[in-house]
Amino acid sequence: MTLRATDHAVATAAGRLFARRWHPPAAHERGSAIVLFHDSLGSVELWRDFPGRLAAVTGRAVVAYDRLGFGRSGARAGPLPPTFVRDEAEDVVPRLRAALGLDAIVPFGHSVGGAMAIATAARWPEHCTAAVTMSAQSFVEEATLAGIRAARAEFARPEQFARVARRHGERARWVLDAWIETWLDPAFADWRLDDDLRRVSCPVLAMHGDRDEFGSVEHARRIARLAGGASRLLILEGCGHVPHREQPARVLDAVARFLAPIEPGPLA
C-alpha cells in the first residue's frame, strides 16, 4: 500500500503545533483517523516508521503531533501543571481535530500519552469510536517513580543528555524537567485516571509489557477494569516500555484486529 504523508501547522492559544498525517489510498481508507499521543520524551519523529505501518495495516489515516514544547512544535515555558493530562484532551484535541478536519477519531497513546488518549475518550465520547493505550500510566505507582529516578541519574550524564538534545534541541532541559519534576512533585502524587476511565464509553484496548521498566501491568489491568466501554487487555510477554519498537508486529496485529470491526457510527 502506497502512503502519502502531509505536514501541518496547528494554531493553539499557547503556540503552534507540528502535526503529520499519513494517508492510505482513498480506495482503501476506512473508519475514523487514529491520533497518536507521544510519551514524555517523545515526538513525531520518534514514532519512526510506526505511524505509516499502522496506517497500512488498519487502512485508517494516522495523525501524530508534537505536544507544545516538544519536537517541532512551539516552545513552552515553566513547569507542567498537575492537570496537564486532562488539559491536553480539553484544550488541544479540539484544535487538532478542527485544523485537520477530523470528526471521529481513535485516540492512541504511549506511556503518559496513553493517559491522554483515555482523557480524550472521556471528554469527547461523541467523537471517539475506540481508544488504545500502550504502556500507559493510570496512577502514580512506586515502580514508575523508581524508573524516573533512575532515568534522572542516567540523563545527568552528558552523553545521555546529548541524546535528548538531538531530539529536542535547546528545549532538552525543559523536556526532561517536564517529565521528571512533574512526576516526582508531591502535588502530583494523588493523580489517577479512574474518573476519566469511568466516563469512557467506547471500546478500549490496553497493552502493556510484562517487563516495563516504568510501571507494572496493573496499569493496563486497571484501565481494562475501570473503562466504561468494552475493553480488551493484552499483556506482552518479554516486552519493556516501548512495545512499538520492541514487538512492532504483535502490536500492529493486535491493533488491526481490535479496530477491524469498529466503524464510526452516527456522531453528534
**pLDDT tens column, 88-135:** 999 999 999 999 999 999 999 999 999 999 999 999 999 999 999 999
Q: What is the pLDDT at residue 267?
A: 36
Task: Give me 126's grid cell.
Answer: 461523541
Q: Which residues of 244-260 are buried (b: 16+ CB within 10 A; e: fewer)?
A: beebbebbbebbeebbe
Cell 529536542, residue located: 168
Pairing verdict, β 16-23 and 62-65: antiparallel
End-to-end Cα distance, the chain: 32
Which pLDDT does position 25 carry in this prediction? 78
Structural domains in the chain, CATH included, are 4-259 (3.40.50.1820)
Q: What pLDDT score does 93 carry?
A: 98
- Cβ partners under 8 Å of residue 217, min gap 6: 208, 209, 210, 235
93's enclosing H/E stretch is: helix 93-100
pTM: 0.95
> Alpha-carbon distance 149 to 144, whole Å?
9
Task: Calculate the CA 67 to chain-centre distance.
Answer: 10
Under-50 pLDDT residues of the chain: 264-268
Please classify residue 170 by burial: count the beta carbons closer than 10 Å to its beta carbon, then call 0-12 exposed, 13-18 middle and 19+ buried.
exposed
Q: How far is CA 179 from the centre of its chain?
A: 14
Dist. CA 153–CA 211, nearest whole Å: 20
pLDDT for 89 equals 98
Q: Can you give the pLDDT at residue 167?
A: 87
DSSP structure string for 39-88: -TT--TGGGTTHHHHHHHHH-S-EEEEPPTTSTTSPP--SPPPTTHHHHI
Please report the beta strands in 91-158, taking only residues with DSSP state E, as ranges in sequence order.
105-110, 131-134
* Cell digits of residue 241: 516500555
pLDDT at 1: 65
At 30 the pLDDT is 77
Grid cell listed for 224: 481494562
